Amino acid sequence: MKKIWKKIDEIPNIEEKTKSIQEKYNLGKIVSRVIANKNIDDNDIEKFLKPTRHDFYDPFLMPDMKRAVDRILKAIENNERIIVYGDYDVDGITSSTILKRFMQDRGIDVGVYIPNRINEGYGLNKDAIRKIAEDGYNLMITVDCGITAIEEVEFAKKLNMDVIITDHHEPGEELPKALAVVDCKRKDNKYQFRELAGCGVAFKLTQALAIKMQIKEDEYLKYLDIACIGTISDIVPLIDENRVIAKLGLMLVKQTRNIGLREILKLAGFKEINATTVSFGISPRINACGRMGHQEVALQLFLTDDPLRARELAQKLEEYNVERQNIEKRIFEEAIQCIEEIKNEINEEPDCYILGKEGWHHGVIGIVSSKITESYYKPSILVCFEGEEARGSGRSIEGFDIHEAVSKCNKYLTNYGGHSMAIGLGLKTNNFEKFKKEFEEYTKNNIKDEKSTPELKIDDEINQNEINISTIKELSLLEPFGEANYEPVFIYKNLKITSIRTLTDGKHLKLGLQDIHSYIDAIGFSMGELADEFQIGDKVDIVGNLQINSYNNTEKIQVLLKDLRKAVL
C-alpha cells in the first residue's frame, strides 16, 4: 500500500536541545535527537530515561480516592463481604488480579466477578448484580468499568450494596451515584495524569490503601508486573506515570513471582521480555479467553499458587488462542472475499467496508475489522447476524472519528459505544442494510481525501557514519515502546540493493543493502510482493526501525522495513 513519508515536525532549537541532552546525559546524537523531538520538559528527561518508585504521584489526589479507601477499610473492619467486578479483557483481568492479590495478602477474602463476553457483554449488568447481592456481598468495587453504569449502580443500591467505581474511561454528562467514583477523566479531576489504564487505577487504589494501612511500599509495588501487562495491552499512552508502571513493571516481569505469568512467558517463547513480548505473546493469550467466553481461566491463572495448576491453565489459554486464531483466519478470508466482490461490483474502491454475515463470532470480529482497516486503510465495521439480533465491531483510520460517525447514523441501532478509533454496536438483523447505506453515505460525505493514504512518520535521517551496534543498543533506553512512545523510525537514503529474496513462500522480503563503505540487512514482514518491483543494483531509500540481529554469537545491524522506494536522486 502506498504511504506518505513525512518527517515529524521539528521543535524549535532542535539542534541546541539535542546537543544539550547529549552532554548532560552522555548519550549519542541519534538517541538524543529522538528524545529532543519528543519535546519532553527538561525536568522530566531523567524521569523518562530512568523512572523510579519515587515518581508515582499521590493517589489521594485522584477523585474520591479517600472516600473509596475509607469505605474499604470500614468494610474490612466490620467483616463485610467485598467483591471486585471486572472486565474480560487483559486490562480488566489484571485490574481484578491486583486488587484480589493485595487483599488476599492482607488475609482478606474478596470475591471477583468477570462478566461473560458472549452472554453478558461489557460492564455492569443487573442480572449479575442481583446474583452478587443474593450471595451476600455488601460492597462492590468495579475495576476497568462502571463509569457510565448509572442505572446499574441505582439497582445495586436498592439491593443494599455500596458501590465504589474505579475506571479510566470517559464519563458521560452524569456520573453514577456511587459511594465513590475514582476516574481521572472526571471533569473535576485534579490528579496530574489522566491516561492511566484500568489496572493503573486499581494499582493506585492499592497504593492508597497501603499508605493508609501503613504498609511498606514493596507490598503494592510487587504487583507492578501485573499492572505493566494490563497497561501495555490496553494501548494507553506510554508516557508519564504509565511509563513508570511499564518500565518498572517489565523489570519485575523478567523475575516475576507470579506462577501463572511465568507459564505464559514460557509458552510465548520470546527471547527478550519487552513491550513486544507483552503485546504479541501475553496479551493475545489472555484476551483469547474472554473472546471465546472463558474469561475465568485467565483470572485463575494469575491467582493460582499451584505450579501444576498454572501449567494446566496456561495450556488452556494456548488452546483458546489457537481456536481464536483459526476462527479469525476463517472470518478474515470470508471478509476479504466479500470485499473483492464489492469492488468488482461497483468497479471502484469504496470509502468504507460494512460487512455482515451469519456464523461470524462476535468475540473475534473486532480483530478482523482491525486487520481489514489495516490492509485497505478504510474504516470498517463487521457485523455478525444471530437470528433477529446482530452485533458489530468497527475500526477506523486517523482523521475519521468512527464513534461520531455511528452516532450520526444511529437511527437503526439498539446500542453502541466506543471511541474515535473503535466502535461496538447492536441492531436488528433486518435493519443491517439500512444502517449500512446510511453509514456509507455519511462516510462518503465526511472522510477527508488527504486522510485516505496512511502517513509514515519519520523521526530522523541517518547515514553510515551514525549507526553502529552501540548506537542501536542505546536506543533501548527509550523502551518500552507503545502508544505515544513509538519505536523510532528512520529514513536511510541512496542504498544499493546487493541481494533480494523472499521468505516463507513469498510472504516476507529480505534485502542486502550497501552504502559507500558499509553493508546492512533489511527485512520487511508481509512485504514479499515488492520483490518484483526491485532488482539487484537498484538504488533505494528505505524507512524502518533499527535492530540488532544476533545469530551464532554474531551481531549485525538490521533494518525492520516499514517501506521502501526507488532512490530520489
Q: What's phi and psi for 456, nearest 5 deg?
A: -110, 105
Q: Which residues partner with 162 through β-bridges?
A: 139
Given a cut of 80, is residue 548 above it in pLDDT? Answer: yes
For residue 344, the model assigns a pLDDT of 86
Flag whether 35 is in a domain.
no
Tens digit of each residue's pLDDT (9 = 90 or more) over 147-180: 989 999 999 999 999 999 999 988 888 999 999 9
Assess whether 405 and 496 both reside in one domain.
no
Question: Using one digit for the tens of pLDDT, what is the confidence trace for 350-402?
Answer: 899 999 999 999 889 999 999 999 999 999 999 999 999 999 999 999 889 99
The rounded distance, in Å, linking the Cα atoms of 34 and 274 is 20
Task: With beta carbons less than 8 A apart as the criterion, state whether 136 and 68 touch.
Answer: no
Does 218 map to a domain?
yes
Q: Are 198 and 167 contained in the same domain?
A: yes
Question: Is the pLDDT at 452 greater than 80, yes or no?
Answer: no
C-alpha cell, 390: 446482530
End-to-end Cα, the chain, rounded Å: 23
What are the cell numbers at 86?
471486572
What CATH number should be reported for the domain holding residue 367?
3.10.310.30
Question: Does one domain contain both 277 and 130?
Answer: yes
CA-nearest of 78, 96, 79, 76 to 88 is: 96
pLDDT in tens, 93-141: 999 999 999 999 999 999 999 999 888 888 899 999 999 999 999 999 9
**E strand or H helix at 240:** helix 240-253
Instruction: Give domain status of residue 12, yes or no.
Output: no
The residue out of 451, 485, 518 marking a domain boundary is 451
- Is the pLDDT at 569 greater than 80? The verdict is no
Q: Which residues contact 241 (CB under 8 A, 6 or more apart)?
A: 55, 56, 57, 192, 193, 196, 200
Rounded Cα–Cα distance for residues 36 and 272 (Å): 27
Residues 428 and 462 both lie in one domain: no
Residue 328 domain flag: no
Q: Are residues 235 and 367 in the same domain?
A: no
pLDDT of residue 449: 62
Which pLDDT value is given to residue 121?
82
| DSSP 8-state symbol, 410 | G
| CATH number for 195 | 3.90.1640.30
Give me the pLDDT at residue 245, please: 98
Residues 6+ apart with CB under 8 A from 226: 94, 97, 98, 101, 199, 249, 258, 261, 302
Greater model confidence, 48 or 3: 48
Mean pLDDT score across all residues of the chain: 93
Phi, psi of 258 (to 5 degrees): -75, 110
Cβ(85)–Cβ(133) below 8 Å: no
| Domain end marker among 403, 429, 451 | 451
Digit-coded pLDDT (tens) for 298-308: 999 999 999 99
What is the predicted pLDDT for the residue at 451?
61
Task: Say if residue 381 is in the same domain as residue 304.
Answer: no
Confidence of residue 224 (pLDDT cuts 50, 70, 90): very high
Comparing C-alpha atoms, which of 206, 207, 274, 286 is closest to residue 238?
274
Same domain, 436 and 490: no
Bridge partners (DSSP) listed for residue 82: 139
Confidence (pTM): 0.91
pLDDT tops 60 at residue 262: yes
Quote the CA–CA distance of 188 and 191 in Å, as a whole number.
9
pLDDT bracket for residue 59 (50, 70, 90): very high
pLDDT at 454: 86
Same domain, 512 and 436: no
Percent of the chain with pLDDT over 90: 81
Sequence letter at residue 256: T
The predicted pLDDT at position 533 comes to: 93
Q: Is residue 108 part of a domain?
A: yes
Q: Are residues 87 and 187 in the same domain?
A: yes
Q: Give the Cα separation of 372 and 370 in Å (integer).
A: 5
Domain count across the chain = 3
28 is a domain residue: no
Q: Which of 451, 470, 502 is the last residue of a domain?
A: 451
- CATH number, position 542: 2.40.50.460
How many residues can be counted in the chain? Answer: 569
Question: Is 20 part of any domain?
Answer: no
| 328-349 per-position pLDDT tens digit | 999 999 999 999 998 888 888 8
pLDDT at 450 over 70: no
Task: Quote the domain boundaries for residue 170.
Answer: 58-318
Number of H helices, E strands in the chain: 20, 18
d(CA 489, CA 512): 19
Q: Kindly state the percentage of the chain with pLDDT values over 70.
A: 99
Report the distance separating Cα 264 and Cα 214, nearest Å. Answer: 34
Q: Is residue 343 part of a domain?
A: no
CA distances to 289, 358, 362, 509 from 389, rounded to whole Å, are: 24, 10, 12, 44
Per the DSSP assignment, residues forming a β-bridge with 417 are 424
* pLDDT score of 294: 94
The DSSP symbol for 351 reads S
pLDDT of residue 552: 79
Residue 105 shares a structural domain with residue 176 = yes
Closest CA to 383 of 421, 433, 340: 433
CA gap 136, 180 in Å, rounded: 21
Contact assessment for residue 180 and residue 165, using Cβ atoms and an 8 Å cutoff: yes
Same domain, yes or no: 153 and 276: yes
Q: For residues 303 and 310, give the distance between their C-alpha atoms in angstroms, rounded to a whole number.
A: 9
Q: 548 - beta bridge partners? A: 557
Helical residues (DSSP H) of 144-217, grouped into ranges? 150-158, 198-212
User: What is the C-alpha to C-alpha distance for residues 543 and 545, in angstroms, rounded to an integer?
Assistant: 7
Q: b/e map of 355-378 (b: 16 or more CB within 10 Å)?
A: bbeeebbbbbbbbbbbbbbebbbb
Same domain? 223 vs 203: yes
